[in-house]
Structure 1
Amino acid sequence: MKFFKKITIAITIAATFSNMYFAQSQTYEWKEATSAGYTYQYVTNDPTSARYYTLKNGLTVILSPTKKEPRIQAYIATKAGSKTDPADHTGLAHYLEHMLFKGTDKFGTKDWSKEKPLLDKIDGLYEEYNKTTDVEKRKAIYKQIDQVSGEAAKFAIANEYDKMMGAMGGQGTNAFTSFEQTVYTEDIPANAMDKFLALQSERFRAPALRIFHTELEAVYEEKNRGLDDDGRKVFETMFAGLFPENNYGKQTTLGTIEHLKNPSLKAIREYYNTYYVPNNMGVIMSGDFNPDELIAKIDKAFSYMQAKKIPEYNPGKENPISAPVVKEVWGPNPANIMIGFRFPGASTKDARLLSLVGEMLTNGQAGLIDLDLVKKQKLLGASASAYPLKDYSVMLLQGNPVEGQTLDQVRELLLQEINKLKKGDFPDDLIPSVVNNVKKNTIQGDERYTSRAGNLMNEFTSGVDHKSTLDYIGEISALTKQDIVNFANKYFNDNNYVAVYKRKGADKNVVKVEKPPITPVEVNRDAQSPFLVKVNNMPELPIKPVWLDYNKDIQKSKLGELNILSVKNTDNDLFRLHYYFGVGKWNNKLLPLAASYLEFLGTKNKSSEDISKDFYKLAASFKVSAGNEETYITLDGLNSNFAQSISLFEDLLKNCQPDEEALQAFKARLKKARQNAKQNKGSIMAGLRSYAQYGAQNPFNNVLTDAELDALKAEDLVAILHDLFNYKHDVLYYGPKAGAELVAALKPLHKTPSAFKNFAQSKTFTQTTSDKNKVLFADYDMVQSEVAWSRNSDFYNAKEVPTISLFNNYFGGGMGSIVFQTIRESKALAYSTSSYYSTPGKKGDRDVIMAYVGTQADKFNEATAAMNDLLTTLPQSEKLFVTAKDGLKKTLASERISQDGIIFNYIKAQKLGNNFDIRKNIFEQTQTMSFNDIKNFHSKELSGKNYTYCIVASENKVKEEDMKKLGEFKKLTLAEIFGY
């Protein structure tokens, strides 16, 4: 009988996908076409409709139009990264990426004729500094660099690039550097393309390396953050072991400390002139545009670029690994292990097959590791993932031990799963199940313009043929079990891997980048270059904003006492259904534990593993999330399998059986996870912030004590699950079914009582009001120090939201904000810094003022003083204020809330007591505001107020006496923070 069901499911899925645009029988071919005078390549039947242009100068342009939202995701990518860094200047590609935000001779400068001689002088000083080894002489040269840099900065306009992007409504302004790519990313309104191209073509024409020494200090900060990041250290150690002959392993993206201390502006320019050439670059865009019009604009904007021969890169031939390479990394985080195997590069068939193997090992539901190690709770956590790169690819296995387990034992458990692949010890239906889920994931990936552009960009930089990506589903659909067995035996053996043991303990090899003496530089907030004025004045057609109408955009239905809110999916066959409960952990501390326990339970007829397999075969999944005051059960999948997916989950929830063995393993893993949380600086900081807002008894430490956890019974958790649907809840749905059809489909599937039960009354946590400055400190072994400011403000008031939105945009909301300009750009005190006035999730709660600085321990005093100055006195810049206002208006006008996001927006509004889309108020009211409005808001809410400083740092690096200067000092124990 079970066998028959499996066959039925497989046939159903095959029938479903045969009607989709990427049906397995679909053929893909490269074709050539000409339109509007431009010839391009395309792949037939491509759901992304991507066009591939090569301009006369060699620049690659990839355009994927989609009209769903009036925005465009843009990437400008260079096929150069850390692997092409000069061996004597590692980290160069990365800090060049930072400098591409500083402007040219046309923008970012008040007077280029006066600035340029000073920049030339700085060039010479850095070359001298680079070649000098005498410590005292180096200090003298650096003092000159600092002095001349201060003079040059008088003519510089900091963040003018960010101001232009902000004014046009840009979002996500950023860039990143990896092994073989440096990519600049922007998300812009569709009507801003002319402005965007004018800025980008100028940006890459002749970058000026201005404000260099403060930006290099930001890179130092990033390096020090990396030294505090055990995960980064493990990753870098893994690649060093896998690639002793390739720059993947010989060089790191952030570079060595020695090279960071000895930069060369001459080397930076040589690198730029070598690799930032059109035949090595690509412009990739997806969004709302006409490709015929856009290609002409891109061609005109970048036609000045001239092609050059790119130096041939020798990837280095790696010798086979004949014996396990074992390395160790030490740090404060919990112990874990990573195992890596080496494979051919991303463009090869074997690299594509590796991605399938990765899904067979880990897919979150029915992979071998998922079922054997996670479901059976043999490890605290485990995963496998394919990491394709141009020269070579890698398979990474990761495992976290349970209490009392050695890393050797974790390694053996992970390798046993590899051996199952080699022996063919996996279900016959695993491959087709993976294929079906890849199909579903492909649909999801093509829904958003952002993910389309990201996928196309990664193909470009890693040298992957787009046709091979489209062929992938058909390619893996044809594979047999024997093909996987042959592949596994070819590439995996008992000796050809690298294992990195992450041990808990002090890392004695860490040498942090020391703070150089830097005099704060001017940022000239109110200065504007003629280029900025020209770009801002370029005409653009306004985008008409679209606000939600909760009465029209959401179908509201009833099934008995059940409220059903739905939005119709007219794009594809996917659905998402949420059971929403307005209760959570504050009502019952056992609720989140019961939700997690469900993952390991079966019914009388099916094991937990069988249920996971059945969901995966249906290309469906479920997740139960219990928060403090809300609980969601989310199911997603194919409309054609809607009934089967719902039935499968409801049977599990209503008929799951207590499993004492699973509970004991669950408890042991939970205890280990709780121990690990105490070793994680992010978790510690979250605990401090909760303590600051609510006091000693707070939502963060509202958990079971160790004794309560020990006394936990399987029957109690299962009883909560069985009874859950008897409590008040709503159904939220996005999918192909309309309201009446959805009600009819749900009626036989989701049985509810005639009258819902009420949960226990929620525990109340009251936000505190502080009458003095306080310091909450947690000791942690780290190079950096992290400081978070917190203050509870007034109760939520919808009338204040427009002012708050504009204030955040001006004060601390991005790279062009006051906070970023002052603390990072001017004073070089932090890599990461921000400030935000946060509104709550429900009416009756208070707003919260937050600020953050992650800085070197030896900059602690300066960094905290700098933020305190900004919280006390709001710097005024009318031009920056106008930019903030324009950017907010254009962002809101081009923003589209869609799919089930409409329903969640509605629920959020309800909880705040609003019956309207508050974005409309923000859009209309902020346009008449003046700087005095936000200045008055700052004076009322931030200036002269008491704050609680949450500090995570090493007590050996940050002095207690310095922290006490900030406020009443309290060093918290981990037990006080975590509640166990």
Structure 2
Amino acid sequence: MNLVKKTIFLMLLASCIIQLTIAQQKNEWKEAKSGGYTYKYISNDPMQARFYTLKNGLTVILSVNKKDPRIQTLIGTRAGSNNDPKDHTGLAHYLEHLLFKGTEQYGSLDWAREKPYLDKIEGLYDTYNHTSDATARKTIYHQIDSVSGLAAKYAIANEYDKMMTGMGAQGTNAHTWVEETIYEEDIPSNAIDKYLSVQSERFKDPVFRLFHTELEAVYEEKNRGLDNDSRKSYELMLSSLFPTHNYGQQSTIGTVEHLKNPSLKAIRKFYNEYYVPNNMAIVMAGDFNPDYVIKKIDDDFAYMKSKPVPEYKAPVEVPIKAPIVKEVVGPDAENVMIAYRMPGALDTKSSVVLGVVSEIMNNGKAGLLDLNINKAQKVLSASAGVMGWKDYAVFQLSGKPKQGQTLDQVKDLLLGQLEILKKGQFDETLVKAIVNNAKLSELQGLENNNNRASSLMDGFIKHRGQNWQADVSYVDNMGKVTKQQIVDFANKYFDNNYVLIYKRKGEDKNIEKVEKPTITPVAINRNDQSAFLKKVDAMPATQVQPQWLDFDKDIQKGKAGQADVLYVQNKDNGLFRLYYRFDMGAWNNKMLPLAAQYLQFLSTDKYTSEQISREFYNIACSFTLSSGNENSVIAISGLQENFDKAVALFEHLLTHCQVNEEALAALKGRIAKSRTDNKLNKGNIMKGLANYAMYGAKNPFNNALSQADLDGVTASQLTDMLHTFGNYKHTVIYYGPQSMNDMIAAVQKEHVIPATWKEAAPQQKFEKIDQAKNQVLFANYDMVQTEVNWVRNSVVYNPDNTALVSMFNGYFGGGMGSIVFQTIRESKALAYSTYAFYSSPDKKGARYSTVAYVGSQADKMNDAINGMNELLNDIPRSDKLFETARQSLKQDIETERITQDGIIFTYLADQKLGLQEDNRKKVYEKIDKITFDDVKKFHDEELAKKPYTYCVVASDKRVSMDDLKKFGDVKVLTLEEIFGY
């Protein structure tokens, strides 16, 4: 239930990834009838979406895509934090969590006995909500905790998740944002009846059970946000930009004060007002018969009754006359954010121009920020993007300073690019290139059901789908935008009317947190199941037959000189992806990643670096050179019609790039600043701790050039490496429409393959270490939460164990219905996020590792660690949960389709493991033979009562070293030890 995910998605959406169409074709609303139902559609819509409105007002949007036997489903309501009552912010988000708790029909052992306790809990919360005396509140909460324990005896925790897992669903989730709450499932195509039966019951009359433990999970989610400097900057930006509109005045997760004073009655009122059919939509994209699906939805959701929905009346914000400057302080790296208030999605003409403006500023290749700032290395990094809502949009510029640079200098550079835009100092042909790249993105996006469904749902949320015609015509309309319109728009909206947020490094002395209430662990009844679940399980479903790869038939193999060629033909569209995959990486030469970064800043004897970027963007193609630990990959992709141009241009760059001392000096400076910033990021610190625990003091994470070595690297060394890169052994990989012979001929025309491969330096080896005894690795970080990783290395990889390992992970700690999640979060309310799994290596001869995680409040750390240790030592038995895990694993394999270049990379990954054929077939054949006793024996032998290394990132002001010593010898690591520099 990630609150940030939707923000990121819509910023991408604003860059026109999906809502596109073929140029010069008319897009008009039309009406058709099929299967007894009338629907509307847009002519020449590449998604071929059908828009239905049922008698009760429910919107249904269907887009068929037969690529895989799966369906992305979204059920959304047009209500989010914008609609929260002023005195109960965060309520929409609370409700989202509670809609996973069941109804009278499922999630309960005995509804008649459970209901009186739930009624009493609701009344107690109402009293608690209106009580201010601290002693009285503590007494009331003790009653809530006590009655909740009694009610939980009749509850079946996670029964919703069990049903979805049992039918083969993936990605079970939901999110709440400003104007929406959306429930997400990816289901097998044979599970439509089961899915709709569960969803129609889910929204019929939800029961808000297990509330106080779920509320604690929301507390943890809030505390995670309080530890996130980016989240704090984002919320301050919105509150400053929208001083009266709820966009800025009501955060999605709510205030600390409101989180402490929830009201079940207010939540029920919100549900009754907004979860009505005329305010909701069901979107499905994937493999199904739309005539069957619409009738099934109509039948299952006919009980819903339409009624008026209270609309949020948006205030008109007063224009900003002068910059509003604010500051955020926290432990993470410094950055600056500039935000402008823009016309919203309802102003479709302005939205198109804004989309073009955003791409001109930052498209990743040839925008003003891309060329003038990032490629010129004037800052550490800079970006721009749009967040679009109904009433307003936000245009945002962001930048991180390089070494010795002030935030004001970054701000001035960002604003300087807007001045260039306002003066029209950009090439008008850039608009044409933007349109061409948008068409490329459309072809790529149409292959993904989630992209389809998310785009359609976004159209419903913003304007009930009524503007889908404008959405489909978006690219054509972008192409009609003139340079003068862009300049006029920029001068109208970009002035001193911005919000400026300085994110500075320091201690946030005003940081607040949601305090931990006393919670008695509740029963979760994992061995029980409702009659409703049994009914759903019993519904007939035609088995989907799995499809295995035959590497000899599915991949064509050839030669380009002495280079092996792996080929799969693209029969769907005009896109290609070409790779040169090298058997060397950073473990062969630490300078390879540096050379890969350096290439993007280099010119040749014919072209400047900027000209190369522009040309790739103009032909709707791209390239990357990346160097991993053991392999390096050159990737060139785009429109097949420009294949020859793209390959020739890249080969020219690689073999003719020229020394640029100034660019290398700037790159070294940026790397130094990035290294400093990395040490301020808690996620990177935890990665370093985990690598230290797994491999020891010298490990893949800190295997980097020392500062002295970095300083000593010369520009000529790097260009020499790049010029001779193609002389090292590599495999040519191609996915595209061209025949293999024609492709090989085209590649060999530009790509010189030597008669003899140049020998790469020997590869450095990193071996996993043994955990001989319990140990705690501690890194100090100023934050509210405590994060703990468990690490233990195990035996050498054995492909015969893959089925057993997969079953163990699915049952024990791999999802919301797993033993770990149910116990740590649902029963004990110790964490928002938790997991545990047995991690398989990626190559033959390497070892497995057990990895577990809990992120909790600091004052819960001891309980959280003890809770996980209990599970690592003793695996609880639940036959029902075990069978659910079995069915889920089988259906995942049955509905998985490995296609396109995924076939080739699966083949290469299997080769690395020593496998000669698709191992999924053997795994599938073994699944039904695995018993719980097999899994328990595996758990007892590999996990139970073993020494672990505990990796702890926390504030030493909030956790006790004496407490940590209870779990093992404590070693406090410095950042230099963790990062290697």
Report TM bin, short chain: over 0.9
Measured against aligned partners, the alpha-carbon deviations of 1:470-490 in whole angstroms (never above 9, x if no partner) come to: 111111112221111111111
Aligned to 1:800: 801
**Aligned-pair distance for 1:615?**
0.5
**Residue 426 (structure 2) pairs with residue 430 (structure 1):** no
Aligned to 1:353: 353
Contact preservation (8 Å) 2:21, 2:476: no
Aligned to 1:418: 418
**Residue 455 (structure 2) pairs with residue 455 (structure 1):** yes
SS state of the match for residue 97, structure 2? helix
Measured against aligned partners, the alpha-carbon deviations of 1:244-274 in whole angstroms (never above 9, x if no partner) come to: 1100000000100000000000000000000
| Residue correspondence of structure 1 range 187-336 to structure 2 within 5 A | 187-336=186-335
> In the aligned structure 2, how far is the partner of 1:385 from the partner of 1:628?
32
**Aligned-pair distance for 1:21?**
10
Measured against aligned partners, the alpha-carbon deviations of 1:624-656 in whole angstroms (never above 9, x if no partner) come to: 111111111111110000000001111111111
Aligned to 2:477: 475
CA RMSD of aligned residues (A): 1.0
Amino acid aligned to 1:347: L
Contact preservation (8 Å) 1:346, 1:352: no
SS state of the match for residue 748, structure 1? helix
SS state of the match for residue 747, structure 1? helix
Aligned to 1:13: none
Aligned to 1:178: 177
> In the aligned structure 2, how far is the partner of 1:946 from the partner of 1:462?
53
**Aligned-pair distance for 1:848?**
1.0
> In the aligned structure 2, how far is the partner of 1:160 from the partner of 1:312?
34
* 4+ residue runs over 4 A deviation: none
Amino acid aligned to 1:471: S
Contact preservation (8 Å) 1:592, 1:626: yes
Amino acid aligned to 1:145: I
SS state of the match for residue 245, structure 1? coil
> In the aligned structure 2, how far is the partner of 1:474 from the partner of 1:351?
13
> In the aligned structure 1, how far is the partner of 2:718 from the partner of 2:969?
42
Contact preservation (8 Å) 2:20, 2:471: no
Aligned to 2:823: 822
SS state of the match for residue 237, structure 2? helix
Amino acid aligned to 1:283: I
C-alpha distance 859-21 of structure 1, shift in aligned 2 (>3 A): closer
**Residue 714 (structure 2) pairs with residue 713 (structure 1):** yes
Contact preservation (8 Å) 2:446, 2:452: yes
> In the aligned structure 2, how far is the partner of 1:924 from the partner of 1:827?
37
> In the aligned structure 2, how far is the partner of 1:460 from the partner of 1:923?
40
> In the aligned structure 2, how far is the partner of 1:943 from the partner of 1:55?
55
Amino acid aligned to 1:482: Q
**Aligned-pair distance for 1:22?**
3.9
Aligned to 2:500: 499
Measured against aligned partners, the alpha-carbon deviations of 1:135-168 in whole angstroms (never above 9, x if no partner) come to: 0000000000000000000000000000000000
Measured against aligned partners, the alpha-carbon deviations of 1:677-729 in whole angstroms (never above 9, x if no partner) come to: 00000110010011111101111111111111111111111111111100000
Measured against aligned partners, the alpha-carbon deviations of 1:360-385 in whole angstroms (never above 9, x if no partner) come to: 11111101000011000001010000
Gaps of 5+ in 1: 1-19
> In the aligned structure 2, how far is the partner of 1:906 from the partner of 1:491?
52
Contact preservation (8 Å) 2:104, 2:206: yes
Measured against aligned partners, the alpha-carbon deviations of 1:791-810 in whole angstroms (never above 9, x if no partner) come to: 11111100011100010000
**Aligned-pair distance for 1:507?**
1.0
Aligned to 1:924: 925
> In the aligned structure 2, how far is the partner of 1:112 from the partner of 1:868?
34
Contact preservation (8 Å) 2:20, 2:438: no
**Residue 381 (structure 2) pairs with residue 381 (structure 1):** yes
**Aligned-pair distance for 1:116?**
0.2
> In the aligned structure 2, how far is the partner of 1:579 from the partner of 1:301?
52
**Aligned-pair distance for 1:280?**
0.2
Contact preservation (8 Å) 1:104, 1:206: yes
Aligned to 2:57: 58
Aligned to 1:15: none
> In the aligned structure 2, how far is the partner of 1:457 from the partner of 1:221?
29
> In the aligned structure 1, how far is the partner of 2:498 from the partner of 2:929?
63
Measured against aligned partners, the alpha-carbon deviations of 1:491-531 in whole angstroms (never above 9, x if no partner) come to: 111x1100111011111221100000000000000110000
> In the aligned structure 2, how far is the partner of 1:312 from the partner of 1:807?
48
**Residue 106 (structure 2) pairs with residue 104 (structure 1):** no
**Aligned-pair distance for 1:225?**
0.1
> In the aligned structure 2, how far is the partner of 1:714 from the partner of 1:77?
54
SS state of the match for residue 623, structure 1? strand
> In the aligned structure 1, how far is the partner of 2:177 from the partner of 2:286?
25
> In the aligned structure 2, how far is the partner of 1:671 from the partner of 1:861?
37
**Aligned-pair distance for 1:555?**
1.1
Aligned to 1:399: 399
Measured against aligned partners, the alpha-carbon deviations of 1:831-871 in whole angstroms (never above 9, x if no partner) come to: 00001111111111111110000110000000000000000
SS state of the match for residue 658, structure 1? coil
| Residue correspondence of structure 1 range 268-667 to structure 2 within 5 A | 268-348=267-347, 349-463=349-463, 465-493=467-495, 495-667=496-668
| Residue correspondence of structure 1 range 967-978 to structure 2 within 5 A | 967-978=968-979
Contact preservation (8 Å) 1:158, 1:821: yes
> In the aligned structure 1, how far is the partner of 2:537 from the partner of 2:772?
46
TM-score, length-normalised on structure 1? 0.97
SS state of the match for residue 521, structure 1? coil
Measured against aligned partners, the alpha-carbon deviations of 1:212-250 in whole angstroms (never above 9, x if no partner) come to: 000000000000000001111111111101111100000
Measured against aligned partners, the alpha-carbon deviations of 1:182-238 in whole angstroms (never above 9, x if no partner) come to: 000000000000000000000000000000000000000000000001111111111
> In the aligned structure 1, how far is the partner of 2:145 from the partner of 2:324?
45
> In the aligned structure 2, how far is the partner of 1:764 from the partner of 1:948?
22
Aligned to 2:132: 133
> In the aligned structure 1, how far is the partner of 2:354 from the partner of 2:921?
48
> In the aligned structure 2, how far is the partner of 1:763 from the partner of 1:448?
38
| Aligned length, in residue pairs | 960
**Aligned-pair distance for 1:583?**
1.4
SS state of the match for residue 443, structure 2? helix
Contact preservation (8 Å) 1:685, 1:952: yes
> In the aligned structure 2, how far is the partner of 1:624 from the partner of 1:117?
64
Gaps of 5+ in 2: 1-18
Measured against aligned partners, the alpha-carbon deviations of 1:17-58 in whole angstroms (never above 9, x if no partner) come to: xxx994311110000111111111000011101000000000
Contact preservation (8 Å) 2:82, 2:312: no
**Aligned-pair distance for 1:352?**
2.3
Aligned to 1:17: none
> In the aligned structure 2, how far is the partner of 1:922 from the partner of 1:226?
40
C-alpha distance 693-751 of structure 1, shift in aligned 2 (>3 A): same
**Aligned-pair distance for 1:738?**
2.4
Moved more, 166-175 or 467-476: 467-476
> In the aligned structure 2, how far is the partner of 1:188 from the partner of 1:624?
36
**Aligned-pair distance for 1:917?**
1.1
Amino acid aligned to 2:531: P
> In the aligned structure 1, how far is the partner of 2:436 from the partner of 2:134?
63
Measured against aligned partners, the alpha-carbon deviations of 1:901-952 in whole angstroms (never above 9, x if no partner) come to: 1111100000000011111122110111111111111011100111111110
> In the aligned structure 1, how far is the partner of 2:449 from the partner of 2:570?
17
> In the aligned structure 2, how far is the partner of 1:906 from the partner of 1:347?
48
Amino acid aligned to 1:62: I
**Aligned-pair distance for 1:391?**
1.1
**Aligned-pair distance for 1:447?**
1.4
Amino acid aligned to 1:476: M
Contact preservation (8 Å) 2:75, 2:183: yes
> In the aligned structure 1, how far is the partner of 2:529 from the partner of 2:309?
37
> In the aligned structure 2, how far is the partner of 1:149 from the partner of 1:275?
27
TM-score, length-normalised on structure 2? 0.97
Contact preservation (8 Å) 2:20, 2:439: no
Aligned to 2:3: none
**Aligned-pair distance for 1:745?**
1.9
Moved more, 400-409 or 81-90: 400-409
**Aligned-pair distance for 1:736?**
0.6
